[in-house]
Amino acid sequence: MLCRLPLRADAAFATLQRRKESFMAIFQGVDASAYQGVIDWRRVKEFHINFAILRATIGNGMGQSQTDRLFHQNICDAAEAGLFTGAYHSSLATNADEARREAECFLDAIRGYKLAYPVAIDIEDRALRHLSADTLDEVARTWCKVLRDAGYYPMIRAGLHTAANRLNPDTLREYELWLLRHGGSPDYDGNVGIWQYTVYGSVGGVRSKIGCDKAFRDYPAIIRERGLNGFTAPAETRKPAALDDSPDPSPPAFNTSPLIQAVEILSGLIAALDVLKTLPEYDSPQVSRTPAAVAGLRPPLNEDLQENAGAPAPAEEAGEPDVKSRAAHGADLDKAETGGSESGDDTAELDNTKTQDQPPGKTAETQKARHPAEPDRESTASDSVFSEILDKIIEEG
């Protein structure tokens, strides 16, 4: 039987929500208008405030009557103090046409500024409460579309009830939400970009209460990378993927450690050595691997051997061993082992001479090279060398 957790469902959800927020990148900010009066933005910056979103316009009036009287002063002073800035519009539009005119007036007010935070439409004015959900949604979508087409990053500023009941879910998937929800948690299941958690914040440099916000995205990086809100997108360092048909000369390497690279190289060498062991030509490691030597491993007919038995051996070039004489010698050895009588005596003499010239320890190695069926000590030594090199690399790595 499964054991039930003692926590209630809502308490467990609140706990998970707080843990989720603790792992998210959160940027502290404020939103202000003429209601806060003149603000000392340098003092605000000292309170670890990262951004300020300022009201630019209100309603659908014309010219100066629509622009917040302290907007230009606030945005210039805040930017000079080192804060990232954004702007929002308080809408009074009752249909799509009015929303479009409001968007155009808003664009006139913010033209010339570089805004590292989004531009937003506030749809929480009392004059909009009588609108139907479809009409309100159309107003918000129309305003955001005009701003997006003009090269800005738009979002919707709304309360919890409006977001949950009066806006289309598709609208909130297309445009991010600036949620106005006062308390210790957003308590919203949807996607939130910015959260205003109080309007009674106390911040140095502000004489009255001010709205305090948390941003859950690095908007300055996003907006600058996309070249929005008055910023220019960074120049591309390479051609688009559709135009670049050439293969990537440097594919991504996930294991770039020198130790791992050395291990891979040694593994490849050991694998290649194992393949060479299976080849017939690998029977005698002392024979040269030149094309002529490989051809000489197959002895000619016995008649040719008898005709060339008395011929002088060719001179060695650049210190290399005489390949033909070694090939003939190998043929004689094969003949002697199969019971041939013509070259058996010569083979015995060569064996006796070579045994006398070599130290006692070399005789066994010579016999081993002639009989590849026995265990290959040289290959075992090569494996041990690779193992020693690998151990040394691991110790130094």
Q: Which of 226, 244, 276 is the last residue of a domain?
A: 226
What distance in Å separates the CA atoms of residue 165 and residue 130, rounded to the nearest whole number? 14
User: Do 304 and 169 reside in the same domain of the chain?
Assistant: no
**Domain check: are 197 and 338 in the same one?**
no
Average pLDDT score over the chain: 74
Whole-prediction pTM value? 0.56
| Among 226, 250, 284, residue at a domain's last position | 226
What confidence score (pLDDT) does residue 32 get?
98
Q: Give yes or no: residues 267 and 152 share one domain.
A: no
Residues 6+ apart with CB under 8 A from 109: 56, 57, 66, 67, 71, 87
**Has residue 241 been placed in a domain?**
no
| Same domain as 381, residue 267 | yes
Is the same domain home to 204 and 344?
no
CB atoms within 10 A of CB 149: 10
pLDDT tens digit sequence for 265-321: 666 666 666 656 665 554 444 444 444 444 444 444 444 444 444 444 444 444 444
Instruction: Evaluate whether residue 335 is within a structural domain.
Output: yes
Q: Say if residue 220 is in the same domain as residue 339.
A: no
Is 175 among the domain residues?
yes
Q: Which helix (H) or strand (E) holds 195?
A: strand 194-201
Is the Cβ–Cβ distance between 87 and 79 less than 8 Å?
no
Task: Evaluate whether residue 378 is within a structural domain.
Answer: yes
Q: What is the arithmetic mean of pLDDT over 169-174?
A: 96
pLDDT score of 62: 61
Average the pLDDT over 86-92 and give the result: 97
* Residue 190 sits in the same domain as residue 333: no
Specify the range with the lowest mean pLDDT, choosing from 23-32, 84-93, 115-124, 155-164: 23-32
* Burial label, 272 (beta-carbon count in 10 A; 0-12, 13-18, 19+): exposed
What mean pLDDT do residues 86-114 have? 96
CA 48 to chain centre: 31
Specify whether 150 is located in the same domain as 288: no
Q: Are residues 179 and 328 in the same domain?
A: no
Choose the final residue of a domain: 208, 226, 244.
226
Residues 158 and 304 both lie in one domain:
no
Domains held by the chain: number: 2
CATH number for position 123: 3.20.20.80
Range of the domain at 96: 18-226
Q: What single string gives the DSSP state of each residue in 207-272?
A: SS-EEEEEE-S-HHHHHHHHT-TTPPPPPPSS--TTT--SPPSS---S---HHHHHHHHHHHHHHH
- Classify residue 370: in a domain, yes or no: yes
Q: What is the pLDDT of residues 45-81, one digit of tens each?
A: 999 999 999 999 999 766 556 899 999 999 999 999 9
Angle at 170 between CA 166 and CA 174, to 5 degrees: 115
pLDDT at 167 exceeding the cut of 50: yes
